[in-house]
Structure 1
Amino acid sequence: MSPNDITSHPYPAPDGILIGHLTPGTAAWEEARTGLTITATEIAAVVGLSPWMSRFSLWHKKAGLPTPPFEMNPAVEWGNRLEDAVADKWQDEHPGQLAAPAGTWRHRNRKWQRATPDRLIYPQPGADFDVAEKAQALLEVKTSPFGDDWGPTGSDTIPIHYRCQVMWQMDTLGLHRTHIAVLISGHDYREYTVDYDEAEARTLRDAAEWFLHDVRNGVRPDIDGDTATYQTIRVQPDGLEDRDIEIPFGLVCRWDDAYEAHREASDRLTQVRSEVLDLIGNGRRAICEGRRIAYRTVRDGHTHSLNPYTSKDAA
């Protein structure tokens, strides 16, 4: 049986309610994720741990206010393209189990709690296969350019925003284990296992309920330093009026101080990058006592970019 056949096979569902097998980007998919709901990819933003969106930007989305349009980038594109390949690798490593498309779900009682896991894991059909048996666990598939925040394979050490995501998925569907398959740097395949933690799930639920309460009552989060917050504010005005707006003196002082600090930091960064690049010469990497500091890319024989490694233990 192909994993894709699961949608037509009479397997019982987990404890959550299946909304449907929706195609990403379609109107039905968007409808299941918008409004006063919190999805697994949004819960990290609710608690201020998402690298892609801020609490401020998510609040505007849920309030029906303008937000920046989604822009496809190479990381997202290749993550999508490689999802099936990484899932197939997990399947090859676990021949006694079947990883099947999961669909979009909501919690049985909390209709606002939504999740779209990558796969549901079932016992592999066979002579002794019991169709009354529920899905055993979830499978989440990831790709990552570096090994930052990923622990050794077989552990439960994964980036915190992904932990929020899988904890929310398990809480939504009523399952108690998630396997994570990740491809790092295009060749380093690792597996992780995260078990359900009621205390963590309750913390996320409480935060989500307060967040939705603030949306309903128009209590906008404070402006923070997240890029997603700035991009959200950028799309709020509609048009241009030729008039002056008075702003507080204290804000002007912070403006001046921040721009001066930025100029000084930019100069220091340019200098140190120049010194590192000068020492690398024709080499590829700068290291210090075994730690990888930066790497050089080349086009047409000349330096194209100098990039930092983003963690001390980047491989």
Structure 2
Amino acid sequence: MSTESITSHPYAAPEGVLLGHFTPGSTAWDEVRNGLCITATEIAAVVGLSPWMSRFTLWHKKSGLNVAPFEMTPAIEWGNRLEDAVAAKWQDEHPGLLAAPAGTWRNREREWQRATPDRLVYPQPEGEFEIPDRADSLLEVKTSPMGDDWGPDGADDGVPVWYRCQVMWQMDALGLRRTDFGVLISGHDYREYVVEYDEGEAKILRDAAVKFLDEVRAGKRPPIDGADDTYRTIRVQPDGFDDVDVEIPAEDAARYENAQAASKAAVLELTAAKGVVLDHIGTGKRAVVGERRIAYRIPKPDGTTKSLNPYKTSKEAA
């Protein structure tokens, strides 16, 4: 049976209520995710572990204030395009199980706890074509340009903490106790991981979400942090321009001026450090310390250097 034609049974999750199947980015999609609720993709921001959204930004979003508009990056676009292909690979590796589109759910008792898993996993014994009413577990599909954040294939602690928060929230919302991951790294490195439900972790996340929503209702804004996402949120708050002077606290002015000076000094130090490393590399490609790769050189056609890049954050294939 083709998974494209399957929609989740409304009673597939013992503790979940199916809200529907919505197109990401549509008005209906936004309606079930906005307001005083926390979704699985937001819970890592609540506890300060998301690499994409700060607690500050999420607070503004839930308060109905301006946040920077969503930007479709190439990584997000190709992650969406490849989701079905990676899910199909996981399906091939697990005969006897059927991964079906999940839809958007809320917890039966906690209406503010929302989740949109990638797939619900059903047992499908050989020769049977009817899908059971209740799912066994969840499947989460991910793609990554590099494997820096992921452990070895099958490692118990191989899933990045922000994705662990996401699936722990999903399991807690739906009442399921296992999530499988199918992950494609660098376009060719396929890996699998399993995360089991942990009541202690789930309670920590639930308690943090309740506290966060209380702060939204009370208008208690989180402190400004150093995340780029927070700065983008602050930038979109003004809705006009007045050519006036605004008095600010002296300590905030000093902090800004000192940071500017430190930033300039850091730029100079980084340039000097890059020069030293590049001088060591010479005509080579990589700078290493023992087995640890530090940086790599990209040459121009004439052999001179185009750039020196830190190895850990590069997109160079290992």
Query: Which bracket does the TM-score occupy, shorter chain normalised?
Result: over 0.9
Contact 1:115–1:168 at 8 Å: present in 2 too? yes
1:288 aligns with 2:289: yes
Structure 1 residue 256, shift from structure 2 partner: 1.7
Contact 1:63–1:215 at 8 Å: present in 2 too? yes
Pairs aligned (count): 312
1:136 aligns with 2:136: yes
SS at match of 1:81: helix
Instruction: State the distance in 2 between where 1:63 and 1:248 align.
Output: 26
Instruction: State the distance in 1 between where 2:9 and 2:221 align.
Output: 45
**TM-score computed with the length of structure 2 as normaliser:** 0.92
Instruction: State the distance in 1 between where 2:124 and 2:280 align.
Output: 56
SS at match of 1:168: helix
The corresponding residue for 1:72 is: 72
Contact 1:12–1:131 at 8 Å: present in 2 too? no
* Aligned pair partner of 1:308 in 307, 310, 318: 310
SS at match of 1:23: coil
Mean alpha-carbon deviation: is it higher for 251-260 or for 239-248?
Answer: 251-260
Alignment of 1:142-153 (within 5 A): 142-153=142-153
Contact 1:45–1:55 at 8 Å: present in 2 too? yes
The corresponding residue for 1:48 is: 48
Instruction: State the distance in 2 between where 1:171 and 1:291 align.
Output: 39
CA 285–74 in structure 1, closer or farther in 2 if over 3 Å, else same: farther
Q: Partner amino acid for 2:242?
A: E
Instruction: State the distance in 2 between where 1:196 and 1:189 align.
Output: 23
Contact 1:11–1:132 at 8 Å: present in 2 too? no
The corresponding residue for 2:89 is: 89
Instruction: State the distance in 2 between where 1:141 and 1:40 align.
Output: 14
Instruction: State the distance in 2 between where 1:288 and 1:120 align.
Output: 45
1:61 aligns with 2:61: yes
Contact 1:57–1:67 at 8 Å: present in 2 too? yes
Instruction: State the distance in 2 between where 1:297 and 1:246 align.
Output: 48
Structure 1 residue 114, shift from structure 2 partner: 0.5
Contact 2:122–2:131 at 8 Å: present in 1 too? no
1:181 aligns with 2:182: yes
Contact 2:122–2:132 at 8 Å: present in 1 too? no
1:193 aligns with 2:194: yes
Mean alpha-carbon deviation: is it higher for 231-240 or for 154-163?
Answer: 154-163
Contact 2:105–2:115 at 8 Å: present in 1 too? yes
Instruction: State the distance in 2 between where 1:121 and 1:213 align.
Output: 34
Instruction: State the distance in 2 between where 1:87 and 1:50 align.
Output: 24
Q: Provide, for residues 74-108 of structure 1, a one-character-per-residue CA deviation record: whole Å limited to 9, x for no partner.
A: 21111112111111111111122111111111111
Q: Partner amino acid for 2:309?
A: N
Percent identical among aligned pairs is 65
Structure 1 residue 10, shift from structure 2 partner: 5.6
The corresponding residue for 1:37 is: 37
The corresponding residue for 2:243 is: 242
Contact 1:68–1:231 at 8 Å: present in 2 too? yes
Contact 1:123–1:129 at 8 Å: present in 2 too? no
Instruction: State the distance in 2 between where 1:99 and 1:298 align.
Output: 46
User: What is the CA RMSD across the aligned residues, in angstroms?
Assistant: 2.0
CA 279–219 in structure 1, closer or farther in 2 if over 3 Å, else same: same
Instruction: State the distance in 2 between where 1:74 and 1:124 align.
Output: 36
Instruction: State the distance in 2 between where 1:299 and 1:74 align.
Output: 26
Instruction: State the distance in 1 between where 2:235 and 2:260 align.
Output: 19
The corresponding residue for 2:113 is: 113
Q: Provide, for residues 117-174 of structure 1, a one-character-per-residue CA deviation record: whole Å limited to 9, x for no partner.
A: 1111111254456754521110101111222232221123211100000000100111
The corresponding residue for 2:12 is: 13
CA 112–257 in structure 1, closer or farther in 2 if over 3 Å, else same: same
Structure 1 residue 299, shift from structure 2 partner: 6.5
CA 75–265 in structure 1, closer or farther in 2 if over 3 Å, else same: same
SS at match of 1:189: strand
The corresponding residue for 2:103 is: 103
